[in-house]
Structure formats: C-alpha cells, structure tokens
Amino acid sequence: MGQGDYRILHEADLRAYLAGLPDLKGLLGGEPASWAITEVGDGNLNLVFIVKGARGGVAVKQALPYVRLVGESWPLPLSRAHYEYLALSRQAQLAPGLVPAVLHHNEALALTVMELLEPHIIMRKGLVAATRYPRFVDDITTFMARTLFFTSDLALSAAEKKEAIAAFAGNHALCKITEDLIFTDPYRIAEQNRWTAPYLDGLAASLREDLELHVAVSRLKLKFMASPEALIHGDLHTGSIMVTDGQTRVIDPEFAFYGPMGFDVGAVLANLLMAYFASAGHERAPGDRAAFEAWVLETVEQVWTEFARKFLDLWRAGGTGDAYPPSLFPGEKGAARLEAERQAYRQRLFSDAVGFAAAKIIRRIFGLAHNIDFELIEDAKKRAVSEARAVRLARAMMVETGAFPSIADVTGAARKLRDWMPELSG
Ligand code: SR1
Ligand code: MG
C-alpha cells in the first residue's frame, strides 16, 4: 500500500478493514456485522475507535491529515502515526506492561490497532473526581527511568544513539507544535490563545510584558530544540496515561523524539500540580478534597524521588554507553568522583524538570490547548483563582528555578499558595 492509499476510515470502512484481518477478526469474535464500533476520540489530533465483538475488543487510532481540534485549516503530517508506532514498540521493549500492546499497524492508513484498555480511564478524569492511584508512582517512575536511561548516551554507544536520533528526526512537525504552543504563543499575542476572561486578562497581559519570563521560556525552548538526550514521550500529561487501581498504561507517544529528559519528568509534575490547584475549584464543601490534595503533593514528591533513584540505580548498574568511560574513573577515587557526578547530573535534570513543568502549566492556562482539570470548574471566577495560583507558582519555578533546589521546595510553595487570593481583572 502506498501513501496514496490513505483514506479516513468511517465506521463501515473500519468494520470491513478489520474483518479482512484474520487475527483481529478472531480476537473480536462473532460476525463483523455484530461488532459495536464507537468513535471515542476526545484528544486534539486523531480519530480513536473502540471496537467490541462477541469475544473481545480493540482500540483503533487513525491519524487525520489535520489537527482535529482546529480543523482542516491546520494540516499535520500523517507520519506521526509512524513515529507513535516506533515509540510504542521501543517503550514496550524497555518498559514491558506499561504501554498498550500493538496488535496491527498500517503505515499508509496511519492506523494502529491496540489492545483495549478496560476498565482503565484517562488519569486526568480520575484526578478531577479526586481518585487516588496507589500504583501510579511506581509505574510512571519505572516507565520514565527505563525509557529515558536506556535510550540515552549513558546506555547506548555513540553510533546507536545517532541512528536512534535520526529515526525520529522526521517528527519535527509535532515538535513544532510544542515549540509554538508551549514555548512561544502564551507569551505573545496569538490568535489561538485563550484564557478565563475577563478574570485573567491582566495576568495574560503581564505575561506578555514579562521579559524575565521571556528569557526563561526561551532558554527552555532552546533546550527542548537542541538537547537530544533520550527518546522522550513528548506529551506525557495525565491525559496520556490510563489507569486503574492496579495498573498504569502510558499511551499516545506521537510527539516522541530525541529531546531533553526533563521535558517528560516536568510534564508529569506539572499535571499533578495542576490537579492540585484545580482541586479547590471542585470542592463541594470546604476541605472535602483535603485527603486527595495531600496525596497529590505526596505523589509529586515521590514521582521525582523515585524517578531519580531508579534512573541513577540503572546508571550505577549498567552505564555501558559511550558517555563517562569507566577507564576515566579508575579505583575507589574514580568511583567516588563518578558518584558525585551522578548527583550533579540528577540536580541538573531536576532543574530542567522544574522549568519544563512551569512551561507546561502556563500553556494550559493561556495557550490553545487547555485541560479538564481547570475547564470543568464551572464557576469562571473560581476557575480563574485556581489558575492564577498555578501561574504564580509556575512563574517562580521558571524564573527563579534555583530557589527550588528540591522537590519539597516545589510542594511547599504549592501548599502555601493553596488559599492565596489573587487580584483578578474584570
Ligand atoms: C494542536 S495539538 C495541542 C496539544 O495536544 C496535544 O496533546 C499536545 O499537548 C499538543 O500541544
Ligand atoms: Mg495525545
């Protein structure tokens, strides 16, 4: 099948297509005419179908040639389905059981069939409902530590690493979305920006005039563009994570490329912090979500400490890449010096994560793509209060990153802002 064979699959086409694949037909079971097919995509880019037969079910994702959220006026390459498939395959090797199994991929149709994750739900929805996830810290930190470490120069030879960078280099249209929507547009007038008006009008204007913030976000943008440290997921927010009490699955790595590790870690921290600040807006009675909020901040702390511990342990156990050649660190003295260097590496990674987390928060409040944590707070004034608290923390994290030497400094600052009353416009 060539590229010209692409067509958007509607329900009937999909039914016929799956019926023609013996393995999937068998997995679904029963007559194709009896399969229940529902389009459930609520993301910003693609079509997603759930198909259920007499025996089992599958999830089918097809890339559209444009950004779903905006429409055909914003074309987007279908090749993102190829990079997503490539990333899912690599992540499945490195973090088994933490990504959905791929059952079929069709390059020309930009279509991937995956195991149906049931009864998993999108984590963001669970957080809005104040649900706690006991497995989350262990699973997400294993996912990040293993996918980031084993695709970095700490684990790969220089040749392997450069081949791997090249394999994902074509995914630049997706990187460009991030470069524009996260690192640029929220800080300037851009047609697609939106925020909780009129309450945040003043804050939006102050962001556009804040040159210290512009320097800080531009440094982060450069780091994002010019640091091929490891294969990153590239969009690791709580909408890209599906959970149950006992399982975690990371989905949707279509933004994957070789980029800075702190971008993934920062994405997880940012989305938890937003869940924390949004929580006040979802209260039905004062304090009724206090236990959930305490869990969220504890989770923020554990995500960082467990990730860093696992990542450094992998390095100690098998730093077989071309970086830090063992011959340069002989004997006890060498081992001690290398260990000190690991701690410095950890600290640098933490600073990156803090900066990127801040950028991820600000984009969800002033950019094109928002999140339901805030959006589902119906009372616009209450929503603006939650958002302004998050922005106050994010600005400090981005401009004064050095004032947050540890994750406890981040959670401590978040806790202090929990009941801070901002001055709103309007
Ligand atoms: C136009 S795409 C908007 C956002 O959706 C994705 O989930 C990414 O976060 C992207 O920035
Ligand atoms: Mg996505």
Q: pLDDT for 257-291, tens place per residue? A: 999 999 999 999 999 999 999 999 999 999 999 99
What is the band of 381 on the pLDDT scale with cuts at 50, 70, 90? very high
Question: CA angle, 259 as apex, 256 and 262 as ends, to 5°?
Answer: 105
φ, ψ (nearest 5 deg) of residue 21: -115, 100
Q: How far is the CA of 287 from the centre of ligand 1 (A)?
A: 33
Length of the chain counted residue by residue = 426
Q: How far is the CA of 381 from the centre of ligand 2 (A)?
A: 29
345, 93, 358: which is closest to 229 by C-alpha? 345
CA nearest ligand 1 atom 4, residue: 369
What does the block give as tokens for 168?
């994902």
Identify which ligand lies nearest to the alpha carbon of 371: 1
What is the band of 319 on the pLDDT scale with cuts at 50, 70, 90? confident
Identify which ligand lies nearest to the alpha carbon of 252: 2
Q: Under a CB-based contact definition with an 8 Å cutoff, are residues 257 and 168 in contact?
A: yes
Q: How far apart are CA 356 and CA 45, in angstroms?
A: 22
Contacts 24+ apart (CB under 8 A), 212-220: 212/399, 213/187, 213/395, 213/398, 213/399, 214/187, 216/355, 216/398, 216/399, 216/401, 217/183, 217/184, 217/187, 217/359, 217/362, 217/398, 218/183, 219/355, 220/183, 220/355, 220/356, 220/359, 220/398
DSSP characters over 30-45 = S-GGG-EEEE---SSS
Q: Check residue 155 and give its pLDDT.
A: 98
Ligand 1 surroundings by CB, under 6 angstroms = 44-45, 67, 69, 177-178, 181, 235, 369
Answer yes or no: is pLDDT of 42 > 90: no
Answer yes or no: is pLDDT of 225 > 60: yes
Q: What would the pLDDT profile of 3-28 be if each residue is shown by its tens digit?
A: 579 999 999 999 999 999 999 999 99
Q: How far is the CA of 155 from the centre of ligand 1 (A)?
A: 30
If one residue of 123, 181, 252 were mutated to test the ligand 1 pocket, choosing by the most ligand atoms within 8 A of its CB, it would be 181
Identify which ligand lies nearest to the alpha carbon of 61: 2
Answer yes or no: is pLDDT of 338 > 60: yes
Q: How far apart are CA 267 and CA 276, in angstroms?
A: 14
Note if the bond before 119 is cis, omega within 30 degrees.
Answer: yes
Mean pLDDT of the chain: 97
Q: How far is the CA of 223 from the centre of ligand 1 (A)?
A: 19
Q: How far is the CA of 88 from the centre of ligand 2 (A)?
A: 13
Over range 315-327, report the average pLDDT.
94
Q: What would the pLDDT profile of 168-190 be if each residue is shown by its tens digit?
A: 999 999 999 999 999 999 999 99
Identify which ligand lies nearest to the alpha carbon of 74: 1
Over range 389-404, report the average pLDDT.
98
Which residues on adjacent β-strands are paired with residue 231?
Answer: 258
Ligand 1 atom having least distance to the Cα of 44? 5
If one residue of 44, 73, 368 were mutated to test the ligand 1 pocket, choosing by the most ligand atoms within 8 A of its CB, it would be 44
Answer yes or no: is pLDDT of 159 > 90: yes
Q: How far is the CA of 133 from the centre of ligand 1 (A)?
A: 25
CA nearest ligand 1 atom 8, residue: 235
Q: How far is the CA of 251 from the centre of ligand 2 (A)?
A: 8
Ligand 1 atom having least distance to the Cα of 69? 1
Q: What would the pLDDT profile of 75-129 be if each residue is shown by its tens digit?
A: 999 999 999 999 999 999 999 999 999 999 999 999 999 999 999 999 999 999 9
Ligand 1 atom having least distance to the Cα of 178? 11
Amino acid at residue number 46: N
Q: Check residue 366 and give its pLDDT.
A: 98
CA nearest ligand 1 atom 9, residue: 235
| Run of H or E residues at 51 | strand 46-52
Over range 294-309, report the average pLDDT.
98
Q: Check residue 374 and give its pLDDT.
A: 98
Q: How far apart are CA 274 and CA 389, in angstroms?
A: 10
CA nearest ligand 1 atom 3, residue: 369
Q: How far is the CA of 174 from the centre of ligand 1 (A)?
A: 9
Q: Check residue 43 and give its pLDDT.
A: 80
In this structure, how many other beta carbons lie within 10 angstroms of the beta carbon of residue 123? 25
Q: How far apart are CA 185 and CA 353, in angstroms?
A: 20
Which residues on adjacent β-strands are paired with residue 46?
Answer: 63
Q: What would the pLDDT profile of 342-372 be if each residue is shown by its tens digit?
A: 999 999 999 999 999 999 999 999 999 999 9
Q: How far is the CA of 421 from the centre of ligand 1 (A)?
A: 30
Could you tell me the CA-to-CA distances from 394 to 176, 225, 267, 372, 417 in Å, in that order?
22, 21, 13, 18, 11
Identify which ligand lies nearest to the alpha carbon of 63: 2
Ligand 1 atom having least distance to the Cα of 252? 7
Ligand 1 atom having least distance to the Cα of 240? 7
In this structure, how many other beta carbons lie within 10 angstroms of the beta carbon of residue 117? 19
Q: How far is the CA of 71 from the centre of ligand 1 (A)?
A: 13
Answer yes or no: is pLDDT of 1 > 50: no
CA nearest ligand 1 atom 5, residue: 44
Q: What would the pLDDT profile of 46-75 be if each residue is shown by its tens digit?
A: 999 999 999 999 999 999 999 999 999 999
For the chain, list the domains and their CATH numbers: 3-115 (3.30.200.20), 121-417 (3.90.1200.10)
* Tokens 């004062």, located at residue: 286
3-class DSSP state of 235: coil
Identify which ligand lies nearest to the alpha carbon of 370: 1
